[in-house]
Chain A
Amino acid sequence: MTTTAGLLIRRVPAAWRRVVRIGALGALGQVFISLSGMPVRLDVREIVVPILSLGYLVVLAAPLVVGVLLGRRPEHSGFLANPPSNRDLVIGATTGGLMAGGGLSILALLLAGFDLRDPLINWSPQLLEFLSFGRGTGAGFIVWLVIGAGLGMVGGTLRLATSRTQKVIMTMALTVVAAAILESLVVDLVEGVKLEALVEWMYAPRGGVTLLGAAVLAIVSGVLSFVGQGRIKTVQARVQAMEGPKRTRVNLTLIAGVGVVMILLPLLVGKLTNELLANVGLFVLLALGLNVVVGLAGILDLGYVAFFAVGSYSTAVLTAATSPRIAPELPWFVALILVIFIAILVGLFIGAPVIRMRGDYLAIVTLGFGEIIRLLFLSDWLSGWFGGSQGITAIDGVDVFGLLTVDGTNPRRVFYLVLFFCAIAIYISWRLERSRLGRAWMAVREDEPVAEAMGINTVNVKLMAFVVGAVLGSFGGAIFVAKVGSVFPTSFLILVSIIILVVVIFGGMGNIFGVIAGAVVLIGVLGGPKQPGLLVEFSEFKLLIYGALLVWMMLARPEGLIPSARRSRELHQEEFLQDAWLRGEIDTDESNDPQTAGPTQTTDSDGGP
């Protein structure tokens, strides 16, 4: 950069350039969030009555985040520059927050002065009212500057506190927000156990945590966090250190505990919550299936929805009396056996042509298969079989040995059905991961040529991944049909594949617990492609958030929330090798004797671009 402007920019100290950059990004983010309509639409959802709604929370987060980011000491400040003092850091953070708040100030002015409602649908008087707190533009302008600066300062100061204090404050804030988000769940649960009095004071009548509730929650969680820090880790370490029968006993107790909770929970909660649980369970099942393909075998299948669709449609055709061409009206469980066979065939049929392709071509081609299958179900050509755009409706639920029927009218039963199949899927994934096949999958994932050289039949192994994924996906489809009672091609958009992929990646590819946690958090809170989550108000924005989340996860934490140890080692190969080198475990010198070079060196394969 040799222009004068460039030279002028170079004169500004690096630290200030960073402040300006992050502050400006914060401001842009704020304006984007405001114009997306989030604040206005989410304003109805209260977090803490009467001071904070979800709408204000999403807007206020930006300056706070800017402050926290700026409060962090820059890691690469160079050798000559002195690290900034605490005072400078706080000043920087405050300035950044001021800039971020300034974005909204300027937006408020623009809203009052111009009308851009033609392309931008959220350029509305409501937004102006939101941004000016209903007190006129001028007030809004100043208030946002003050709020921005204040939050930036708070964020920056937070960073200066000890990590223990930081954790306590984070826990307090998260507890209050989580309590507000989980409100309907908690209320439903306490009504089930007849202990309404326990939370009556906590929640306001029209939703949201009361001030008293927030204070109590914050204090309790703060104290617990302060006292309990490090203890969970100690317990974890102690369990991890156990071996043999003792470890098995702990594991069994844990599994039994979770099982009992899962069986008791639906009895205590109402219909809506059960519906939510059933949706989450369905996505746990689908995500576990995709996890076998993507997480274990490392095949990026973007057309996973194809298996879901095939499972749904074949169940519908086999069980429904209304199926257009053939209607054998089999009982659901008998149909399921046939569905499994169909799924295996489809898995082989989709898998075989793509198995030899480069990973990225494979992804696009599976995406193509997913679309083709939906288009075929939709087409007039096959509408004689599958009903075209009318789909197949009025499908009976699952008849369990003539005792009871599981269908959409009773979400509790659906949840138990889902739970049963989730348990099967978890067992299958868990056993497979530790089997010869599972190890072969991981070998193929890590380095295909090497795996082949080691005598693994990579083609068969990868086909098996498709087949297992297809079977688990078709389980999901069969349950979906029983739950909804109808199938339409619009239920099987590529969108579904992508959302399942986000769930798997967010939770942690290759880790069963991670995948389950991912489904519970994402589907439970934000909701699935058509199913609402706990934050119903978010339904308009959830796809936007899923997209952003996917990008952010890939950039910041590709191994997911709860990573599988092996997978994260692959993803952070370079750092891992560096660490190992620093610890002296490997030596870059090739003349070194093979014993210390060890097996870690062989993992350095295609890390290049």
Chain B
Amino acid sequence: MANNWAPKTKVDWFLTVLRVLALGVVTVGLLAFIAQQISVDNPFARLINPDATGLTVAQFRGLVISGLSQGAMYGLIALGYSMVYGVLGFINFAHGEVFMVGAMTGMITSNKLDDAGLWESNFIGSLLFIVVVSMLVCTLTAVIMERVAYRPLRKAPRLIPLITSIGISFFIQNTSVVLLGPTSKAYPDMPDWLTAKRTFLEIEGTKILVICVAALAMLGLWLLVERTKTGKAMRAVAEDQEIAGLMGVNVNRTIVKVFAVGGAMAGVAGILWGVLFRSVIHYTGFLPGIKAFSSAVVGGIGNLGGSMAGGLFIGLAESTGPLLILEPLGVSGVSQLRDAVAFAMLIGVLLLKPSGLFGERLSAEDRA
């Protein structure tokens, strides 16, 4: 339906205008950026934004690296959205909250380790430990969620599980408030050798660490889905639940495994959040959750490699977008608008290419 670009009704005209406008803003912004990079006194750049300053190479590199590291984290969360959507055909809105649970678990465990003095003496070991604990807790959360709330609704109209997942998201957030308190909580300090900027590219070690961990987790997931029997069962259930069941796949157990794997990935992402931002609060899961969902859509929902690529894309877009497009256009206070940019990306992608950049992989029924 949406691929039909020839406008027919007024709404189609409106949408076409909107698409053209969106592309126009992006193009003009980019051109202005290029103009101001060539020379700040360039008349075109001056015309669009009289206060243009331009970016230094180091600033730009910083933006790209932080975009990539956050994007890797979004990609990991996006896997959970994508897998559940691929198999059950609904948005598990509470998945962002699973990620928050991971970040909280990491905070609690790492602070306990810090109290015991292990955090400083054996950082790598401690990090591994909190990743494992967080993966376990998140897996458990996701599995309980599936069992309590989603399994009874498997035959319900599609919007019912979505509304339920909103309720769960609300519940988990506020559980964190009542159990752990409404204040923001900090991770212990990262060791100096990690936070120091490396000489060769002047990149902070934490960001490299985040990208590496995300890549490892992704590799593990890819091996699981493509190379094991469990993965085969998952793909079969995603394709067609009923027929997979007839072929001897235990559908219930496979769905539980899908939730478990998605939860584990969110657990890893939660720790990465802690490493990157070192502070966590009960609504930590909301925005990254939405952005990760956008990543899953951008990459084509149900498509795992696409999710990771979509995550990197969204991460880059939100970190460079404001300064690359909005600042040259003369919008002030752009860094406040980075979340708005992320939402605009989501809307833009659904408007321009709802099936994602790399194509959806959904069962025949869901595509309808």
Question: Measuring CB to CB, which residues of chain A are less than 8 angstroms from any residue of chain B?
Answer: 32, 35-38, 118-122, 298, 300, 302, 352-353, 355-361, 363-365, 367-369, 371-372, 375-376, 378-381, 383, 459, 463, 494, 498, 501-502, 505, 540-541, 543-544, 546-551, 553-555, 558, 570-571, 574, 606-609
- CB-defined contacts of A302 to chain B, threshold 8 Å: 166
- CB-defined contacts of A365 to chain B, threshold 8 Å: 346-347, 350
**What separation, in Å, do the CA atoms of A316 and B161 have in the docked complex?**
38
**What separation, in Å, do the CA atoms of A369 and B351 have in the docked complex?**
13
CB-nearest residue of chain A to B178: A36
Contact mask B168-189 → A, CB, 8 Å, 1/0? 1111111101111100000000
Q: List 18 interface pairs A-B (beta carbons < 8 Å), by A numbering.
A: A118-B108, A120-B180, A121-B179, A121-B181, A122-B179, A300-B159, A357-B350, A359-B162, A364-B93, A368-B347, A372-B344, A381-B334, A494-B286, A498-B170, A550-B167, A554-B160, A555-B152, A607-B157
**What separation, in Å, do the CA atoms of A541 and B171 have in the docked complex?**
10
Contact, CB under 8 Å: B164 / A554: yes
Which one of B88, B112, B166, B333 lies within 8 Å of A609 (CB-CB)? B88
Q: How far is the CB of A316 from chain B (nearest CB, A)?
A: 21
Q: How far is the CB of A516 from chain B (nearest CB, A)?
A: 20
Q: How far is the CB of B22 from chain A (nearest CB, A)?
A: 10
**What separation, in Å, do the CA atoms of A540 and B173 have in the docked complex?**
13
Contact, CB under 8 Å: A554 / B350: no
Contact, CB under 8 Å: A608 / B365: yes
Which one of B159, B166, B173, B340 lies within 8 Å of A550 (CB-CB)? B166
CB-nearest residue of chain A to B112: A118
Q: How far is the CB of A513 from chain B (nearest CB, A)?
A: 21
Q: B259 interface residue, CB < 8 Å from A?
A: no
How many of B's residues come within 8 Å of A, CB to CB?
A: 65
Contact, CB under 8 Å: B162 / A353: no
CB-nearest residue of chain B to A463: B11
- The listed residue with most B CB atoms (<10 A of its CB), out of A122, A544, A606, A608, is A544
Contact, CB under 8 Å: A555 / B149: yes
- CB-defined contacts of B158 to chain A, threshold 8 Å: 359-360
- CB-defined contacts of A120 to chain B, threshold 8 Å: 179-180
Which one of A37, A361, A364 lies within 8 Å of B290 (CB-CB)? A364
- CB-defined contacts of B177 to chain A, threshold 8 Å: 540, 543-544
Question: Measuring CB to CB, which residues of chain B are less than 8 angstroms from any residue of chain A?
Answer: 1-2, 9, 11, 14-15, 18, 88-91, 93, 108, 111-112, 149, 152-164, 166-175, 177-181, 241, 286, 290, 293, 297, 331-334, 336-337, 339-340, 343-344, 346-347, 350-351, 354, 365
Q: How far is the CB of A333 from chain B (nearest CB, A)?
A: 31
Count contacts between A and B, CB distance < 8 Å. 180
CB-nearest residue of chain A to B348: A353
- CB-defined contacts of A119 to chain B, threshold 8 Å: 108, 179-180
Contact, CB under 8 Å: A544 / B178: yes
- CB-defined contacts of B164 to chain A, threshold 8 Å: 550-551, 554-555
Nearest 8 pairs of A and B residues by beta carbon? A550-B167, A380-B333, A547-B170, A547-B171, A368-B343, A544-B174, A36-B178, A551-B167
Contact, CB under 8 Å: A35 / B170: no
Q: How far is the CB of A445 from chain B (nearest CB, A)?
A: 10
Which one of B155, B166, B175, B340 lies within 8 Å of A36 (CB-CB)? B175
CB-nearest residue of chain A to B17: A352
Q: How far is the CB of A14 from chain B (nearest CB, A)?
A: 19
Which one of A38, A379, A463 lies within 8 Å of B340 (CB-CB)? A379
Contact, CB under 8 Å: A571 / B157: yes
Contact, CB under 8 Å: A547 / B179: no
With A544-B177, A547-B171, A550-B167 already in contact, the answer to whether A459 and B11 are too (CB < 8 A) is yes
Which one of B1, B111, B175 lies within 8 Å of A118 (CB-CB)? B111
Q: How far is the CB of A114 from chain B (nearest CB, A)?
A: 13
Q: How far is the CB of B176 from chain A (nearest CB, A)?
A: 10
Q: How far is the CB of A176 from chain B (nearest CB, A)?
A: 27
- CB-defined contacts of B172 to chain A, threshold 8 Å: 547
Which one of B111, B163, B181 lies within 8 Å of A505 (CB-CB)? B163
Contact, CB under 8 Å: B157 / A606: yes
With A359-B158, A381-B333 already in contact, the answer to whether A554 and B241 are too (CB < 8 A) is no
Which one of B153, B290, B336, B337 lies within 8 Å of A554 (CB-CB)? B153
- CB-defined contacts of B155 to chain A, threshold 8 Å: 574, 607-609
CB-nearest residue of chain A to B297: A361
